[in-house]
Chain A
């Protein structure tokens, strides 16, 4: 997400709005945004309802055994249609801004 923040102006230029979602409280998310300098929206899905609906739930993987989100990225176009997904196979490998920018070029005006 640091890479996304660094490329935020480029992403915004091509009309892409990054949004982060986790089960953290709004307060924890606010602290994360402040400490890391994130300026994109960060949403709190406390009960993992949206996370479950997108089937990106990692059951009982939280520190206290809660259901949390697995790392996953979806690029949704303005009609609400998925144009690109990135479901990493290894937790340490995430989507890069370059990948997102490449797909963004293909989204029509």
Chain B
């Protein structure tokens, strides 16, 4: 079995913590808003729990977990959760991503 999950890193050796604030990009604010809607903090209809968000973040491969930013992890995790809950399908997501990519290349 797995002894310690990668994300569970309390007490492990680490570098200095950067104690500076930074401005959020628009997409990060949108991801935050989306999460608030999905867990029902606002809007009232609950589509997932914050524990599912955490579970799917914790399931990221260690190299990705380390490389990705805070809201990168959120958007991947909430998308994964929507697939697990049947709100969207993998196929729909793949086609939509292809559409968006095409739009971006124009």
Q: Do A and B come from one complex?
A: no
Chain A interface (Cβ within 8 Å of chain B)? none
Chain B interface (Cβ within 8 Å of chain A)? none
